[in-house]
Amino acid sequence: MTATDTLSPASPSLDFDAARRAMIDSQLRPSGVNAPMVLERMAAVPRERFVPAALADVAYIDRSIALGDGGHLAAPLFYGQLLVEARPVPSDRVLVVDGGSGYLAELVRPLVAATDSVTPAELGTVAAGAGYTLVLIDGAGEQLPPELSAAMAEGGRVLGGVIQRGITSLAVGRKAGSDLALMPLSEMGIPRIAAFDAPKGWSF
C-alpha cells in the first residue's frame, strides 16, 4: 500500500502551485537539474498528494519525509537528479522499487512505454526474464537483491541510492550478464531501504 491509498484532500493552508515553482527554482535548478523533461514532470505532479494530509504543508521541503511503516517521500533533489541520470525514453519498460509514496512511479509513467511498481517486500513476485530496461529504486541500500538482475534485460540500467561506509549517494549501474552493481555518482541524503541491508557478520 502506498501513501496515496489513504490520503484525504490536501490542506488548503498553503499555495501548492507556488510551492512547486519554488521547489524548481530554489532546489532543482541551482543544483543542476535543468532538463526540460524532468522539470516539466516535477512541475506537473503534486507532491502534496503523495503524503498524508497532515504532512501536506511540508511536502516541498528539501529533505525526505517519513510516512510511517518504514515508507518515505525522498527530497525533491533526489528525484530530479535520478531522472536526469536515468534519461528515460519512450521505449523503456520500467520497474520502480517504491519507497511507499507512489510518487516516483507517477513521475516516470508518461515518459515510457510501461511502468510497474513494487515495494521491496514484493520483489520476489517479479518474474525472472521480465525484460525491464530501466529499474528505478526509491531509496538507498547496501546491496541489490538478485531478483532485480533476474528481471532486467541485458544492458538495462538501474538507478537509485547506494550506502557505503554509512554514506548515501545517488548511483547508476547497468546489467552485463549476471553482473549488476551500482556506481556512486554524488553524495546526498537518501532514505534507507532496510530490506537492502547487507547481512551483518560477527564482530568481536
What one-character DSSP code corresponds to residue 128?
T
Selection from 106, 85, 103 nearest residue 160 by Cα: 85
Residue with cell 547508476: 172
Tens digits of residue pLDDT in 109-161: 999 999 999 999 999 999 999 999 999 999 999 999 999 999 999 999 999 99
One-letter identity of residue 2 = T
Which pLDDT band holds residue 68 (cuts at 50, 70, 90)? confident
The better pLDDT of the pair 173, 68 is held by 173
Q: What is the pLDDT of residue 9?
A: 47
Specify whether the CB–CB gap between 165 and 182 falls below 8 A: no
Q: Does 15-195 carry CATH code 3.90.79.10?
A: no
Burial class (CB in 10 A: 0-12, 13-18, 19+), 193: buried
pTM of the model: 0.91
- Mean pLDDT score of the chain, rounded to an integer? 92
Specify whether the CB–CB gap between 142 and 102 falls below 8 A: no
